[in-house]
């Protein structure tokens, strides 16, 4: 299945638009909150609806282990299981599997479950099958994600295996109404990135993801590798940068022509008491906020900022109330989703550079 990306505005390489799917549509640039196990930690899908989220990411690795793809399928698939009418993208779990130091061969990977230590085998065809049973709107091909820095031969092997696995996933994918994305690898080697992009595009996917970045490389290396990759991807298909979610990094990637993003950063920071604001990160546990009656961010229009003070939210945090994690998660996601909404408007109005400078004033270059 192909996805239709209707470009509605451009500012240099940046673009804003709408992706049409059998389920409906979603706007780009788009940030996807991470619901690894079928939920975004500390909040519900009803909360996500209230925040205006349009796409949620779930992880096939975790869901195939608990509760199991067959269980989810028997209960009507992820959308019904989660009580979520928006779009769902499932990651194949390749990143999680490779973080476990699995046994890798040309056919697939063998790894132990983080839940009970049981041994599992995952192949490109198996990853497709799991995600078809989960019933996501978009699924990702299984890829090889090497850590950085990595020797040239490791990067080359990752690219070759990822391409071979992508071709196998393409042949195995059968579910109607579900899009399959290919993933580009290559580390920070720009020539290898270009080669991987071109060969992945030749296989013909509904969309394309940039994997293997934000795993230890410098920011200039990330942006150079990203630019080399995006320059080879079709303009009429969605482009997805995996795992990047810092505010300036999001805008830098939008400027290069990226459409989709996911990252655990907003929710993970929230659970540890760090708040996203226009002035940068705010460590709410700091004693300076004991009597602060102001909102988390005076320029934020979210329900949390409209109702509760920094002092009260800090109190919840320091006494260990679970409400703190929930409310800070709601704010951080609202702030991030709001940033992408501002990016959409800025692209349409030709002022993305000005927005980037404004955000960098608070967050640094």
Residue 206's SS3 state is coil
Residue 40: Cβ-neighbour burial (10 angstroms; 0-12, 13-18, 19+): buried
**Among 11, 47, 91, 189, the one annotated catalytic:** 91
**Strands, E assignment, the chain:** 4-11, 14-20, 25-28, 30-32, 55-59, 87-91, 103-104, 109-112, 119-122, 138-140, 179-184, 207-210, 239-242, 260-262, 274-277, 280-283
CA 214 to chain centre: 12
What are the CA-CA distances from residue 230 to residues 31, 190, 345 (Å)?
18, 11, 22
293 is catalytic: no
- Residue of 137, 259, 262, 297 with catalytic role: 262
Residue 152 CB partners (closer than 8 Å, separation 6+): 189
Q: Encode 273-301: b = buried (16+ Cβ within 10 Å), e = exposed.
A: bbbbbbeeebebeeeebeebeebbbeebe
Other beta carbons within 10 angstroms of residue 96's beta carbon come to 17
Indicate the SS3 state at residue 37. coil
Q: How far is CA 230 from the centre of its chain?
A: 17
Q: Which whole-number Å values give the CA distances from 347 to 18, 269, 353, in the listed order?
A: 13, 28, 9
Q: Distance between terminal CA atoms of the chain?
A: 39
**Which tokens is 85 given?**
């009418």
* H/E element, 356: helix 352-363
* Tokens describing residue 113: 């479950």
Burial bucket for residue 203 (CB in 10 Å: 0-12, 13-18, 19+): middle
Angstrom distance (rounded) from CA 102 to CA 255: 36
Compute the distance between CA of residue 26 and CA of residue 24 in angstroms, rounded to an integer: 7
Active-site annotation holds for 70: no
Q: Which residues are catalytic?
A: 91, 262
């Amino acid at each position: 299945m192909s996805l239709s990306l209707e470009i509605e505005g451009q500012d240099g390489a940046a673009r804003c638009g709408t992706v049409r799917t059998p389920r409906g549509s979603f706007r780009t640039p788009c940030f996807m909150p991470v619901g690894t196990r079928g939920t975004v930690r500390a909040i519900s899908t009803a909360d996500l609806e209230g925040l205006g989220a349009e796409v949620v990411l779930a992880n096939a690795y975790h869901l195939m282990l608990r509760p199991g793809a067959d269980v989810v399928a028997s209960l009507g698939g992820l959308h019904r299981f989660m009580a979520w009418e928006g779009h769902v993208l499932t990651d194949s779990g390749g990143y999680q599997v490779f973080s476990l130091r699995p046994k890798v061969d040309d056919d697939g990977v063998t790894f132990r479950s983080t839940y009970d230590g049981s041994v599992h085998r995952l192949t490109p065809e198996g990853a497709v099958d799991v995600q078809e049973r989960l019933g996501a709107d978009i699924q990702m091909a299984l890829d090889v994600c090497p850590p950085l820095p990595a020797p040239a031969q490791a990067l080359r092997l990752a690219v070759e295996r990822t391409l071979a696995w992508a071709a196998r996933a393409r042949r195995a994918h059968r579910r109607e109404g579900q899009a399959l994305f290919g993933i580009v690898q290559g580390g920070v080697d720009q020539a290898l990135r270009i080669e991987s992009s071109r060969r992945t595009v030749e296989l013909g996917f509904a969309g394309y993801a940039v994997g293997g970045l934000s795993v230890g490389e410098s920011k200039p290396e990330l942006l150079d590798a990203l630019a080399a990759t995006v320059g080879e991807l079709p303009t009429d298909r969605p482009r997805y940068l995996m795992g990047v979610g810092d505010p300036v990094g999001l805008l830098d990637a939008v400027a290069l022509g990226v459409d989709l993003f996911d990252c655990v950063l907003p929710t993970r920071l929230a659970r540890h008491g760090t708040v996203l604001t226009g002035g940068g990160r705010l460590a709410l546990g700091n004693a300076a906020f004991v009597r602060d009656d102001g909102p988390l961010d005076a320029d934020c229009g979210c329900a949390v900022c409209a109702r509760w003070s920094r002092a009260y939210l800090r109190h919840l945090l320091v006494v260990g109330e679970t409400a703190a994690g929930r409310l800070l998660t709601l704010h951080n996601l609202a702030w991030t989703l709001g940033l992408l909404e501002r990016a959409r408007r800025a692209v349409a109005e030709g002022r993305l550079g000005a927005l980037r400078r404004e955000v960098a004033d608070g967050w640094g270059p």
